[in-house]
Every structure is written in C-alpha cells, then in structure tokens.
C-alpha cells in the first residue's frame, strides 16, 4: 500500500471532473450546515437535558466512523460514482426524517442515518486522488476542504433563514396542513431538498473515474483498520487524524459556551464568529495550501499547521486577559472591545493552522497509498477522524464543566504535540532522502 498513487482515471476531462465532485461535496455539506443552528434548540424542544445535544452530535460521528471505511472500500471495489449517488440519496431521506421527527428517538435515528451517509467523504477524496496528479493533489484536496468550509459558511445562514418567523408563517399558508411547518422542520426539509437537487446534478454530470474492481475484496471494518495500521507510512497518519479530531471537534463544540461565558455572546454573535473562521478557512484551503505544498512540501505544511493550531488553541482561553492587558481602549463601535480584538487576532491563527494541517495530512494519506486502495486508506483515516469527533465533544464538555473553561483548549493543544512530532519526523525523513 506504499506505492504513490497517480491520476490514471478514464474521465474525459480531469479538470471538469474535479469541479463536478467539488460542487457535489459543497451541496452535500450545505445540507449538513443548514441543520447546525437549529440542532440544540430542536433537542430542547422535547424537554430533555442538554446532554442529548452532545450525544446526538456523537451519534453522527460514530456512524461516520463505521461507514467511512465501508464506503471508501466499496468505492474502490464498485466505483466512486455509485457510492456517492447512494449516499446523497440516503442524506435526502435522513434530513426528511429529521424534519418529521416526533420524538428524540427519531432524531437519533435520522441523525445516525445522516452520519452513515456522511461517510462518503472518503469516496469523494478518493475521486479527487483519481483525477489529479501527485503534484496537484494538495490543491485538489484543498479545494474539497474549501467546499466543506463554504458549506459551513452558507449552510447555517440558510438554516437561520428557513427557521425565521416570517418564513415559517408563510410556509404555514402555502404548505398542506399535513406537512409540519415549524422552525425545526423547514430547515430540515430545505436540507433534504438540496440533497435531491444534488442527486440529480451528480447523476447527470458525475463521471466514473476508472474501472472498479481493482481493489482487494471487501473485508470487515476491523480488517480495514488492521490492514492500514500495518502500513508504516499510514499508521502515524491514522493516529494523527484521531488526535486532531479529538482536539478540534471538542473545541468546536465548547467554543460557543466559552463565547457565552467569557464574552456574554448569544447565538447571533457566535454565529458571526464561526462565519469569520469559516471564511478564513475557505481562503486557506482553497487558495494557500496548494501553493505552499508545491513550494515547501506536504510534511512541512503539516508541521506549520499543527504548530499554529496548537498555539491558537492554547491562546483562546487567554484572549480576554490578553486583550485587557495588551490592547488599548478603542474609539470605534462599542462592541469592538479589547477582549474581542484579541479573540479576532487569535481566530485567524486557528483557521490557518487547521486548514494547513487538515489538507496536508489528507494529501500525505493519498501519496502514501496505492491507487487501488485510495478509498480504503481515506476511509480508515476519515473513520479515525470520526471516532475522534465521537470522543472529543463529551470529553471536552466534561472538562469544561468540571475543570474549567480553559481546560478543553489546553488539552486540545497538548493532543497536537504527537501530530507535530509526526510531521517533524516526515520533514526529517525527506531531508535524509535528498541527495547531497
């Protein structure tokens, strides 16, 4: 599994194929993003504990953990296109069921189905690897990351629109009485609608990238992990994806409570901060990472990203104190406090570090795996990431509640130390292989 992959697909135009799969990923993540702003309030509407919010998020990631390797493996054996079409259709069903949920149990069922279908990221990444040469791999995977980021930027805004009172009132007039029109159901139905449109687009324009059937016969999830972990070139990457995901997903979940407790911000203010981070991430992954990888190499970019992300995580809980100590009072708008200025200075470091690290590590996975096992390699690493996103939120929430608001960010920074070490070892290995 250590032979580098090459772009040897049978698509008529690799550039067009790349643009098509990026569009498919964007619309797929748009549906996911639409649900984000309503999820906590939807859970609370059933009168249950906020613990269920974390469990619902974990259920999505747990299913993604199980299905990302499966879908990646199936894309190796049966082709990328049918796997992507199947998962998009499944997402439409999941979001429809989410909007019709009459109980917390149905919420969990629909969310778990969505998580299973969200495992298609492995097939999408393998598709990109199929249609890009190794020297353009980081750029192509960076564009996929940018599509992710755009989905998270525009999705919540669309979800907020469909959850607004005027839209809900208008929908109750237009829709049949049998169709529930609430601030929870309408965003869900909108996500399902985007999935239906995405299915039609993919069915019409998404080409198959090569002849399926070259991959090893399908095995079990544990066998997939064992196979990849036996490969020295991939073993450290799998562990790194797990640690990265524990660190970053936990912080993602706890940033909103931190902003509320440390800054007094509500949903609108925190949404703007998340949009700020998301836009920066799109720029980094869509524009910068490909150029930096070509110039400095993926391992060096990963090292820089891990270092920046670790520093940013450690700095977030210190931002209010740093702002009061270092930033003079400003004459601008009253909301632009020294504490906010410090946070706005830290968040770009977070976004740049995460963007550089995620894309460069994904590229290292691709260049470390053979063409016939691209989907399996991506599936296992994405599965490890999903497992991290299952573990991270409840652990970080417990740290936040028991230890203090600083602790999830500090622990996240510490978890990235082995990732820094792995990237440094890759850089050192590259130097040793350069002829003198």
Q: pLDDT at residue 431 above 60?
A: no
Most confident of 54-58, 67-71, 104-108, 141-145: 104-108
Q: How far is CA 334 from CA 63, 273, 296, 342, in A?
A: 45, 17, 43, 15
| 362 or 204: which leads in pLDDT | 204
Question: With contact defined as beta carbons under 8 Å apart, do 94 and 117 qualify?
Answer: yes
Q: Does residue 126 lie in a domain region?
A: yes
Q: pLDDT at residue 435 above 50?
A: no
- The overall longest dimension of the chain from CA atoms, in Å, is 76
Q: Which of 398, 389, 88 is nearest to 243 (CA)?
A: 389
Count CB neighbours of 418 within 10 A: 15
Q: pLDDT at residue 198 above 80?
A: yes
Q: Does residue 417 lie in a domain region?
A: yes
Q: Where are the alpha helices (DSSP H) in 178-263?
A: 185-205, 221-229, 232-263
Q: Does residue 5 lie in a domain region?
A: no
Q: Does residue 399 lie in a domain region?
A: yes
| Average pLDDT estimate for 203-227 | 68
- Residue 107 is part of which domain span? 14-209+218-433
| Average pLDDT estimate for 224-250 | 83
Q: Residues of the chain with pLDDT > 70: what percent?
A: 89
CA distance 316 to 266: 18
* Per-residue pLDDT, 165: 84
| Average pLDDT estimate for 405-409 | 91
Q: Does residue 8 lie in a domain region?
A: no
Q: pLDDT at residue 35 above 50?
A: yes
- CATH number for position 247: 1.20.1250.20
Q: Does residue 3 lie in a domain region?
A: no
Burial class (CB in 10 A: 0-12, 13-18, 19+), 208: middle
* Per-residue pLDDT, 135: 76
Residue 17's pLDDT band, with cuts at 50, 70 and 90, is: confident
Torsion sign, CA atoms 289, 294, 298, 299: negative
Q: Does residue 160 lie in a domain region?
A: yes
* Per-residue pLDDT, 243: 94
Residue 402's pLDDT band, with cuts at 50, 70 and 90, is: confident
254-306: pLDDT as tens digits: 887 888 888 888 756 776 787 788 788 888 877 788 788 888 888 899 999 99
| Average pLDDT taken over every residue of the chain | 82
Q: Where are the alpha helices (DSSP H) in 297-373?
A: 298-315, 319-326, 338-368
Number of domains in the chain: 1
Can you give the C-alpha Rg of the chain in angstroms? 21
Q: pLDDT at residue 359 above 90?
A: no
Torsion sign, CA atoms 226, 365, 252, 65: negative
| Average pLDDT estimate for 157-176 | 86
Q: pLDDT at residue 18 above 90?
A: no
Q: Does residue 36 lie in a domain region?
A: yes
């Amino acid at each position: 599994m250590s032979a580098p992959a090459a772009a040897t697909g049978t698509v008529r135009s690799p550039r067009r194929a790349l643009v098509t799969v990026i569009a498919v990923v964007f619309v797929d993540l748009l549906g996911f993003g639409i649900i984000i702003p309503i999820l906590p309030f939807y859970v609370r509407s059933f009168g249950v504990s906020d613990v269920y919010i974390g469990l619902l998020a974990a259920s999505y990631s747990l299913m993604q953990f199980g299905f990302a390797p499966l879908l990646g493996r199936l894309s190796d054996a049966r082709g990328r296109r049918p796997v992507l079409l199947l998962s998009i259709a499944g997402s439409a069903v999941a979001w429809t069921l989410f909007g019709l949920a009459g109980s917390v149990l149905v919420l969990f069922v629909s969310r778990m189905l969505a998580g299973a279908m969200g495992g298609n990221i492995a097939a999408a990444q393998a598709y990109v690897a199929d249609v890009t040469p190794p020297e353009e791999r980081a750029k192509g995977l960076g564009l996929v990351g940018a599509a992710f980021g755009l989905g998270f930027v525009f999705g919540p805004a669309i979800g907020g629109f469909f959850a607004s009172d005027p839209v809900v009132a208008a929908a109750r007039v237009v829709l049949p009485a049998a169709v529930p029109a609430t601030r929870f159901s309408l965003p869900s139905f909108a996500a399902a609608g985007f999935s239906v449109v995405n299915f039609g687009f993919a069915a019409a324009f998404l080409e198959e990238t090569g002849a399926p059937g070259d991959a090893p016969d399908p095995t079990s999830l544990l066998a997939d992990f064992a196979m990849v972990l036996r490969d020295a070139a991939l073993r450290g990457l799998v562990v790194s994806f797990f640690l990265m995901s524990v660190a970053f997903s936990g912080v993602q979940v706890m940033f909103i409570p931190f902003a509320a407790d440390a800054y007094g911000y509500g949903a609108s203010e925190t949404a703007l901060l998340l949009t700020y981070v998301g836009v920066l991430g799109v720029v980094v992954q869509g524009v910068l990472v490909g150029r930096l990888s070509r110039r400095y190499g993926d391992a060096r970019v990963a090292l820089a990203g891990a270092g920046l992300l670790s520093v940013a995580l450690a700095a977030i809980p210190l931002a209010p104190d740093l702002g009061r100590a270092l930033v003079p009072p400003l004459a601008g708008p009253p909301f632009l406090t020294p504490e906010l200025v410090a946070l706005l200075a830290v968040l770009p470091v977070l976004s740049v570090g995460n963007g550089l690290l995620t894309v460069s590590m994904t590229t290292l996975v691709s260049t470390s795996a053979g063409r016939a096992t691209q989907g399996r390699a991506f599936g296992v690493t994405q599965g490890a990431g999903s497992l991290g996103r299952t573990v991270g939120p409840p652990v970080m929430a417990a740290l936040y509640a028991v230890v203090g608001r600083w602790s999830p960010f500090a622990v996240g920074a510490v978890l990235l130390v082995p990732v820094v070490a792995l990237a440094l070892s890759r850089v050192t290995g590259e130097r040793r292989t350069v002829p003198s």
